[in-house]
Amino acid sequence: MYARRVTEPPESEELASSSVESLKTVCAVTRYPNSCFSSISSLNKPLTANPLNFFNLSLQATVRELSNLTSLPKELISKSNDKPTESALKDCISLFDEALSRLNRSFELMKVGPGEKVLTEMNISDIQTWISAAMTDQDTCLEGISEMGSTVPYEFKVKVQKSQECMSNSLAILNNIQSLFDKFGLTMP
């Protein structure tokens, strides 16, 4: 390793460092801070020190993870000769579709007209409900597989877990949104 001789980082590095620290601050309120950090930073979107922006990015990462997961039950059905497993996986397909629908409703609630408040108590409550319901959909999928005595590849459970972590992180950011705005010295929109 070598030491850098630059005494002040260029403005872009300063901004990047500030954004990274802001993201770490937001992710610190979650149950899975490493997952939060990696899922949001992997989107390659501009990071601004605004909790609403980080919540939006977290929700985008959640939708991406769930979207990546939705085709997996179909693939596993095509390779299976086990009727109980096929039945449980068919249930998972509809549950994942419903979970995606719920997450998309959360995005819709955040679209407001000029001058309207984005994070009203009612909107926050509704979004919390949609994300929680999406998490329940995934839990129901895994329970159905377990109850059928089905064996699914470890990969499936890992992908579901990653999606659940993203949902949990989004919910935690939303649950702490007011305190995050306070930490950043901002007013909630």
**66 falls within a domain:** yes
Q: What secondary structure does DSSP assign to 36-90, as a single string?
A: HHHHHHTT-----S-HHHHHHHHHHHHHHHHHHHHTHHHHHHHH---HHHHHHHH
The token pair at 64 is 């991406």
**7 falls within a domain:** no
Per-residue pLDDT tens digits of the chain, which is 189 residues long: 333 333 333 333 443 568 889 999 999 999 999 999 999 999 988 888 899 999 999 999 999 999 999 899 999 999 888 888 889 999 999 999 999 999 999 989 888 888 888 889 999 999 999 999 999 999 999 999 888 877 787 888 889 999 999 999 999 999 999 999 999 999 887
DSSP secondary-structure letter at 4?
-
In sequence order, the 6+-apart residues with CB closer than 8 A to the CB of 156 are: 72, 73, 76
- The letter for the amino acid at 31 is R
**124 falls within a domain:** yes
10 CB burial (10 A radius; 0-12, 13-18, 19+): exposed
**12 falls within a domain:** no
**33 falls within a domain:** no
Count how many domains the chain has: 1
Tell me the C-alpha distance between 119 and 50, whole Å: 13
**24 falls within a domain:** no
Q: Where are the beta strands (DSSP E) in the chain?
A: none
- Domain range for 76 is 56-183
Whole-prediction pTM value?
A: 0.86
- The letter for the amino acid at 36 is C
Q: Which residue has the tokens 């995934």?
A: 138
115: domain CATH number is 1.20.140.40
**94 falls within a domain:** yes
**62 falls within a domain:** yes
